[in-house]
Amino acid sequence: MNTTFTLENIIRENVKQLVPYSSARDEFSGNGSVFLDANENPYENGVNRYPDPLQNQLKKRLTQLKGVPPTRMILGNGSDEVIDLLFRAFCEPNKDNVVTCTPTYGMYEVAANVNAVEIKEAALDKDFQPNVDLVMDLTDENSKMLFLCSPNNPTANLYDEDRIVQLLKAFSGIVIVDEAYIDFASGKSVLDKLEEYPNLVILQTLSKAWGMAGIRLGIGFASVEIVEVLNRIKPPYNVNSLTQTKALELLDDEAKYLNQVNGILKDREELSEFLSNLSCVKKVYESDANFILVKVDNAKQLYNFLLDKGIIIRDRSKIAGLENCVRISIGTQEENKLLCESLSEYNSKN
C-alpha cells in the first residue's frame, strides 16, 4: 500500500474538474460604489446585500487569534459543514471509506452515511487513546480520511500527540483532528503541526468555548491546497452575514472568553470532586473538555430521576464500551448547584 500522501491521489475526479462558482461579487476588482450586479434589493436594512463569500474580515480576526493565515482556513456553517465538505471533496460514494476511533462524535458517521461512504471503526484503547496498529490494520487503498476527535466526545480525553503524529505519518489519506473542545484541554492544539503535515486538517468551532453555538461557525485549518479544493465545492454564501457580524463582535472580547473558560474549568473540577464522592458513581473520567463522562450504577434510572427534576443530561449507556455512562455538560454555577442537590437526593434514595 502506498503510504505517502498526495492530494492528487485522494481528490475525487469530478472535483478535480470543477471550477468554483463565480458569484457576482467575485467578478470585479477595484473600488465599486454602485452595486447593480447581484439582483439584490438596493434599500439598506442591514442584510440586503449578499455576504462576503470568503469571509475576509472574519478570517483576519481569526488569524490574530490563531496565528494561521486566511489562505489556510475554511469557514463553514458549523464544523459539521466542513466535515460534509471533506466527504464531498475526497470520498467517492459507494467506493471509498473512512476510519473513525470509537466511541466518538456521531456526526462523522452521519456525514459518511449521507455521502454513501463506508465507515470503518477502530475501537479506542482501554484508556480511550487511538490504537495506531488497529487503525492501520483497518485501512485499505480506498481509505481516504481518518477522524481523530481530540479532546474526544464523549470520552472527554485529549489524545497523545505521539499517536496523532504516528497516524499522520502512517496514514496515506487525510487525518482530521477535531479540536472542538481544545480550549478546555490541559494539553495543546496540533495547529503547530499544520506546516509539517500536508495531510492534516484541524477542525475548531465557535460553538463551545466561545459560546456561539447558535450562529453556526466552524473553522477548518489545512494546507493552502486543501483549502482551495474545499472553497471550490462549498456553497458560495455558506456563512451568512448575521453570523459574520456577530462572530466579529463577540471575538472582540477575548477577556470574557478566557474568564468563562477558566470558570468552567474550575467548576468542572468541583463537580468532578463532588461526583466522585457519591456512592452511585462508579467512575469519574478525567476531562479535557467542558463536560464530564461518569459511570454510574444505573444510567437509565439516574437519567430519568434527573429528567423528572427538569435536568437533562446525556445518557450514553447504549454505546459499546460506555455501559452505564452519562455525559454531563458544565452549566452555570447555579445550574451545577441544582444538579448536585438532585444528585445528593438520588444518592441517598438508592
Ligand X SMILES: *Cc1c(COP(=O)(O)O)cnc(C)c1O
Residues interacting with ligand X, by CB under 6 A? 78-80, 105, 149, 153, 178, 180, 205, 207-208, 213, 218
Task: Specify the residue, 182 or 294, whose C-beta has the smaller distance to ligand X.
Answer: 182
Q: How far is CA 6 from each of CA 3, 9, 12, 13, 137, rounded to the nearest angstrom? A: 9, 5, 13, 14, 21
| 296 contacts 326 by C-beta, under 8 angstroms | yes
Nearer to ligand X, 291 or 346 (CB): 291
Identity of the residue, 55 or 207, whose beta carbon is nearer to ligand X in the bound complex: 207
**Residue 238 CB, nearest approach to ligand X (Å):** 12
Cα distances from 335 to residues 1, 339, 340, 348, in angstroms, run 53, 6, 9, 20
Comparing CB distances to ligand X, the nearer of 32 and 106 is 106
CB 68 to ligand X: min, Å: 17
Q: How far is the CB of 163 from ligand X (least distance, A)?
A: 18
**Which residue in the block uniquely carries the three cell numbers 481530540?**
150
Find the shortest distance in angstroms from Cβ 38 to ligand X: 28
For residues 211 and 309, which CB has a smaller minimum distance to ligand X in the complex?
A: 211
325-329, strands of its sheet edge to edge: 281-284, 291-296, 325-329, 314-315
Q: Report how far Cα 16 is from the mean position of its chain's Cα atoms.
A: 26
Residue nearest to ligand X as judged by C-beta position? 78
CB of 321 to ligand X, least distance (A): 17
The backbone region for 145, taken as left when phi is positive above 0, alpha when psi lies in -120 to 50, beta otherwise, is beta
Name the 3-class secondary structure at 84.
Answer: helix
